[in-house]
Amino acid sequence: MDRIYFQDTFAALAKSLFYERGRGAGFRATMVGRDYIDRHEIQGGTSDAVIENCIAVLAENNLVEKAAYQKDESDSFFTFEVKGCAHLPVEAWLEKEGVPAFVCPPINMILYKIRQLIGVAVEIADISVHHKEEKCIVRVVIFKQ
């Protein structure tokens, strides 16, 4: 199977969505990735446990090489560093086309499971792609509403 075909297709669809919705496109893509993570048994009684368990599944299945995160003093603002993500070629294509990163399926999966299992509010705040280092920085909020 030619992976480039799927990467090109995903990228073209993302570009279409961005040109339709502009900055609001991110809010229309928050469910991307859910089906995949639902195929796996994720458990955890805290946000940290859910994050670790999701990252393990993502890494085991080669969707990401590795991922780590840290929280600020508020305990609500998380910064994820995702290395070697399967979506990096898609982001490279989008960047070439002038489309900013607005969807991160791996983080969507993590936030979805946190919301489902812990019941707290979650939101991606921003995404930045660093192609040279083959990593993304995704900042998110996780908090009790």
The residues binding another protein (CB under 8 A) are: 20, 24, 27-31, 72, 74, 76-77, 121-126, 139-141, 143, 145
**Minimum distance, C-beta of residue 139 to another protein, in the bound complex (Å):** 6
Q: Extract the runs of DSSP E, i.e. beta strands, from the chain.
A: 66-71, 77-83, 121-130, 135-143
**Minimum distance, C-beta of residue 95 to another protein, in the bound complex (Å):** 20
Number of Cβ within a 10 Å radius of residue 11: 21
Contact 86, 62 (CB under 8 A): yes
Phi–psi pair at 66, nearest 5 degrees: -160, 160
**Minimum distance, C-beta of residue 98 to another protein, in the bound complex (Å):** 15
* CB closer to another protein, 6 vs 27: 27
**Minimum distance, C-beta of residue 107 to another protein, in the bound complex (Å):** 12
DSSP label of 25 = G
The Cα–Cα gap between 55 and 69 comes to 10
* CB closer to another protein, 44 vs 116: 116
* CB closer to another protein, 77 vs 89: 77
